[in-house]
A and B are shown apart, each in its own frame.
Chain A
Amino acid sequence: MRFFLLLFLVFLPSLVSARVIDAVERWSGKVQVDEPLRVEKGGQLIIAPGTRVVLSAGIEVVGQLQATDAEFSGVNWPGLVLKGTSTRTWLKNCRISGAQTGISVMGGQPQLQGLVLENNRIGIELRQKSKALVESSVFRANTRVGLFVKDEAEATVQNNSFTHQGKFGAYIYRAQPKVFSGNRFIDNPVGLMISHYGSNPLISQNLFQNNKIGLKVDRTARPQVTTNRFIKNQVGIKLYRRSDPAIELNRFVKNRQAIHVSFSSYPQIRHNDFADNPQAVVLEYQSSLWEQQKGAAARQAQIVSRGAFAGQKQNQVTEDQRRARNLDGTVDARQNWWGEKATLELKSKSLSADANLSWIADGLDQPFFNEAGEQYPLDRVRWSPFGQQPYTTGILP
């Protein structure tokens, strides 16, 4: 009897009604899913290569899902939800499109490899300390975000490609992926966003190219950004609202602005190579005096106004955790290589440490900015001593 049921499921284009899978079930051919489906703990759904699953409802997996070379498509369907699944749940070389969230991963360690996530609202969302593997996948034209890493997820994210997303290639929010490396962000409004206190991942060996903003760091996030390449972006790295990343051993080539620093952000910019960027470091609305006088109050006002329904306080991060430590009116960008032409100029003119360099826009170019009728001095960039030769040669391709 069970055999006949299996045959029915395998060989007929089937309408899968609302039901639970609590044993082994195999799909192949064309499968239509119009009612929610749940793979229970102990249940196993195995999808054969070449299977085309057309969905208007979602699939929730608590047990196991194994799919290779399959296609999941639909129009605004909810997506796959993997809840606490083990490494025995995997999707390999599958295409997922048209979903609200292609794959939502709630905890667990599913293996997601070689996928194409296309035209979803969100490609993949990782939550709840998930240790998922997201590898060698293509995120293309998802209308909001290619990959969301949230909620303390500890995923491994490597060798993926993010192109033409609606808002963000990838977004790390209050999370610390274990590995975030070897990814390519090309032609996105923002390649990678890292936001909020507690987001301190190591971002290494990635390529950011032709994005409006390659990497944006916001709201007290403190990633370590090292050995990445930023090429032909409008802005290579944008630091916003108290973001203090360590930026080290990266290469910046032909970006309109290589690093843009604003609103009380105090990064450590060391041992990077800058070449052919019209502006290498730009400061805007960046003042130690403003931070001392108004920073804490401005942040508090923002917290109070951001309740879910505009009434709820969210004091999850203390002001002590947010505040800037060293407010001496400078942004530290010592020991960087500013390119051949610039280095030649620095050497030949023996410029002093307070010289106004053409590739740096700071308080030497615009001494003050206005806010609410008050003038605040714009910080300056400490660029001396400078690197005499490139730092990334031999490290980056």
Chain B
Amino acid sequence: MRFLLSILILMQLLSLTACRQGDTGVTGQLLFNQQPLGQARVEFYLKSGNERSSSPFSVVTTDVGGVFRASLPPGNYYLIGKKKEQGGGVNRMLMAEYPQNPVVVDEGFSPLAPLELKEIGFEGAIHSDGQTEVRGQLFADGEPLPDAFVYVYTRGDTLTGPAYGLIERTGEKGYFTLKLSAGRYWLAARKRHDGSRVGDPQAGDLNGVYPHNPLILEAGEKRQLRDWSLEPVTREAKQRRLAKGMFTPTTTWLSGRVIDEDQTPVAGIYLFAYRDSRMIGKPNFISMPTDKDGRFKIYLDKGGEFFVGARSTFGGPLEPGEWVGTYDVRPDHGVDAGSDQATDLGDILVREVW
């Protein structure tokens, strides 16, 4: 029996080596904003999600037309397109997994559907060239405002949440200095009553967007901003925002229960649903904290594939004592949610980080 098995393995190996690598593979094209994306990486992995090794099996680069051609031996591959772009003082990462993964390589070269990459948050902080800087002073009610936070964004569509590239605290008399480089920036500032850097502003907190956004800086420029006043968030404004916000019930949601290693429900845990499998940056949807039975609901705008994680806080690095966990039925923490449906995730296990 053992001998027969050896023969079979040997025959399999011989058939693999008989098939020359250059004869089979895939071709395709990467896009960004529906334009061809040149000089991007196309990575092929043998495994998906958590099983993926740190190094891809093969990597090719797209040409100026965004086209790639990869020679691969027959088999199944998980394709990821990536491009790191630097410019204007900002690093941005474009990335996407091929939706029809795994790609099956069988005979000859198979053409793949074009793959549109997405920007997935900011890779690292905004770069300072050491020369370019912006100075300003924050006020509230006519008085200089110390210990407020100024947030620098590189996109103007959403000036909230942790997608900022730089954060600076104002000094004793409300002054701040932002060390940047040439580029286009949007500024927002907040002072929360509890002193926190991140989190949803509450009624009474101070909030404001720089009225002369965007700020377009040239290399080496030293810009003095006009005085900038923050206004308190009113209870009515807060309610209006909440009514439009991600906690508003919809007809599509993910639900489940958070438990610890002793199977005990854990209260006070936030659930995060990302569209991006890397689960970084600002989550697309957040639950209210779990109740005393560990129950949660994440309301979604519509169905689709989401990647789900759980933490006892949000924003910033993991801290000792924090609870953290992921939805682990699939190794990539993903789940397919149907539109206008409730999708039960079952139990999500969290553990303490020390």
Contact = CB atoms under 8 A, between A and B. Distances in A.
Interface of A: 41, 56, 62, 76, 78, 83-84, 100, 106-108, 122, 127-130, 144-145, 148, 150, 167, 171, 173, 195, 306-316
Given A173-B319, A306-B318, A311 B194 contact: no
Given A83-B194, A308-B311, A311-B279, 17 more contacts: A56-B292, A62-B204, A76-B267, A106-B195, A106-B196, A108-B194, A128-B197, A130-B195, A145-B321, A171-B321, A306-B317, A308-B309, A309-B324, A309-B326, A311-B280, A314-B317, A315-B124
A39 to B, nearest CB: 13
Interface of B: 50, 124, 147, 192-197, 204, 267-268, 278-280, 292, 309, 311, 317-321, 324, 326, 333, 352, 354
A107 B268 CA distance: 20
A167 to B, nearest CB: 7
Contact of A128 (B196, B280, B333): B196
Say what secondary structure dominates the interface of chain A: loop
Contacts, number: 72
Contact of A100 (B147, B268, B309): B268
B282 to A, nearest CB: 12
Contacts of B311: 308
A195 B268 contact: no
A197 to B, nearest CB: 12
A84 B279 contact: no
A78 B268 contact: yes
Contacts of A76: 267
Nearest to B124: A315
Contacts of A127: 196
A83 B324 CA distance: 24
A84 B333 contact: no
16 contacts: A62-B204, A83-B193, A129-B147, A144-B352, A145-B321, A167-B354, A173-B319, A195-B320, A307-B280, A308-B311, A308-B318, A309-B309, A309-B324, A309-B333, A311-B280, A314-B317
A84 B268 contact: no
3 closest Cβ pairs, A-B complex? A107-B195, A83-B194, A106-B194
B280 A107 contact: no
Contacts of B192: 84
Contact of B321 (A107, A148, A307, A309): A148
Contacts of A309: 279, 309, 324, 326, 333
